Amino acid sequence: VQLQASGGGLVQAGGSLRLSCAVSGGTIGHYNMGWFRQAPGKERAFVAAIRAGGGSTYYEDSVKGRFTISRANAKNALYLQMNNLKPEDTAVYFCAADRPPVAIYSELPNARHYDVWGQGTLVTVSS
């Protein structure tokens, strides 16, 4: 399985971006999928996840109400719609797959459950 993230860029505070993650070599609906981000000088941090099968979602508190994770099974693609962006959202964003889906719902934010990672896409939010 390979993941290819795209969609990053430079946006002003209050703006929107949609990140995409193309999945090849596997079926996205069979995996828990997550978005993580790493800001300059900081550790990689959880952003959002969507469970295999039914697709329940889980968000980090600071992005609730602003970000939406979704997937398109027919396109084998994962998305992260980011609205009302803030300068503190500036980071490299990574998509990741937990396969087979080991993590229970409460464990979705834990990066150690994800065994395949995309290369990252840079999001820069200017104030």
* Residues 21 and 32: beta-carbon distance below 8 Å: no
Q: Is the dihedral of CA 25, 27, 33, 37 positive or negative?
A: positive
Tell me, letter by letter, the H, E, C secondary structure of 70-90.
EEEHHHCEEEEEECCCCHHHC
pLDDT at 48: 98
What is the mean pLDDT of each successive set of 10 residues along the chain, which is 127 residues long? Answer: 97 98 96 97 97 94 98 97 98 96 91 96 97
pLDDT in tens, 94-124: 999 999 888 898 999 999 999 999 999 999 9
> Which of 36, 37, 8, 1 lies closest to 22 in space, CA to CA?
1
